[in-house]
Amino acid sequence: MTEAAELPPAPEQAREVFGERFADAVRYAELLAEAGVQRGLIGPREVPRLWERHLLNCAVLSEAVPEGVTVCDVGSGAGLPGIPLALVREDLNITLLEPLLRRTNFLTEVVELLGLDHVTVVRGRAEEVMGKLPPVHVVTARAVAPLDRLATWGIPLLRPYGEMLALKGDTAEEELKAAATALSKLGAVSTSILHVGEGVVDPLSTLVRVEVGESPGGVRFAAKKAKAARTGRTRRRR
């Protein structure tokens, strides 16, 4: 049996990024390195690079998120990027959406332990909660799926004129080109690639931003939502 990798000390950038929540960020890193590995939420090889590759890489997403908005982190997994974002941005109202029970159990424990009162954990798939969760200003995601597939899950959760921010790596530009047609059908009106984390992470974190118009999810989702509303009215009459 191989010995568990040791969590390195937090880099100086973490103190600057997490500020008053630095101690909570350290506790979260410890939880990922211990319970996260034991429960199979992250691989043991990720422990030595938890700070740079995971916590800081996700925390700098905050540079692209407007103030005081609602956020849904789709396929939150072990809480990346949702929990680092929550630690640096208490002005946000964040939902961590995750279908697997063992992950939502971990997320609930972390949220309660760190006192993240502005964070809610919801178990479910994006396609199952469409029309059930209140639409949000921003959808976030990291390493969930290729952009075209991710968009079919994330965009319908948005409010009109909202945006999806997907953390991507070197494939960002290629994925954006491949997803162009799908994004257009889903109601996207503008796309861009952003690089965030100057002075914090190297290389910079790469974001794909997809902005939508007045019909997030496109015509198909609008029809599905209208049908659900009609069904709801019919049931209430009975």
pLDDT at 68: 98
Going by their DSSP bridges, the two strands 93-98 and 70-74 should be labelled as parallel
Given phi > 0 = left and psi -120 to 50 = alpha, else beta, which region is 133?
beta
d(CA 121, CA 37): 20
Parallel/antiparallel/unpaired status of strands 93-98 and 158-168: unpaired
| pTM metric for this prediction | 0.90
Instruction: Quote the pLDDT of residue 1.
Output: 35
pLDDT along the chain (238 residues), means of 10: 73 97 98 96 95 97 98 97 98 98 98 98 94 95 90 96 95 94 96 97 96 84 59 55
Look at residue 143 in the predicted model and tell me its pLDDT: 79
pLDDT of residue 217: 86
Look at residue 2 in the predicted model and tell me its pLDDT: 41
